[in-house]
């Protein structure tokens, strides 16, 4: 299975999904013009990834800011990952401010999926 890499731009995050290591990263700002179109390759990749039955998955979410449409994608992505890989996946939510921390806490609570929270400094 091929890895997925999409470079970060001003309004879209970097997506770096590595099949072999099971490490998935979403980093930067997420305010794409059309979140459905931007995130379509990520959802397609995840569906294929889950069919291959990876041993272990770590999702790193390092977003500085995201919009409502991006939050819908994150919710669907994490839900799909957790529903198929409950005991073999970790969601690590990085935050630099209280707003992003609360966004992660809310999502974790709504999904019923425990996240690991990591405070970071963004300069």
The confidence score (pLDDT) of residue 63 equals 96
pLDDT beyond 80 at 6: yes
DSSP string, the chain: ---EEE---SSS-EEEEETTTTEEEEEEEE--S-HHHHHHHHHHHHHHHHHT--S-EEEEEEEEEE-HHHHHHHHHHHHHHHHHHGGGEEEEEEESSHHHHHHHHHHHHHHT--EEEEE----
Pairing state between β 57-66 and 23-30: parallel
> pTM above 0.85?
yes
Give the number of domains in the chain: 1
Domain of residue 53: give its range.
4-119
**Domain holding 70: CATH number?**
3.30.750
Model confidence pLDDT, tens digit, residues 51-65: 887 788 999 999 999
pLDDT at 87 over 70: no
């Amino acid at each position: 299975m091929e890895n997925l890499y999409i470079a970060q731009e001003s309004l879209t995050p970097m997506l770096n999904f590595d099949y072999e290591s099971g490490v998935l990263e979403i980093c930067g700002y997420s305010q794409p013009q059309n979140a459905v179109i931007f995130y379509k390759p990520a959802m397609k990749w995840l569906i294929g990834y889950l069919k291959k039955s990876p041993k272990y998955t770590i999702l790193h979410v390092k977003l500085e800011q995201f919009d409502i449409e991006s939050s819908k994608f994150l919710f669907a992505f994490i839900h799909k990952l957790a529903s198929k890989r409950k005991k073999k996946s970790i969601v690590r939510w990085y935050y630099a401010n209280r707003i992003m921390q609360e966004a992660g806490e809310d999502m974790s609570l709504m999904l019923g999926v425990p996240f690991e929270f990591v405070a970071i400094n963004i300069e």
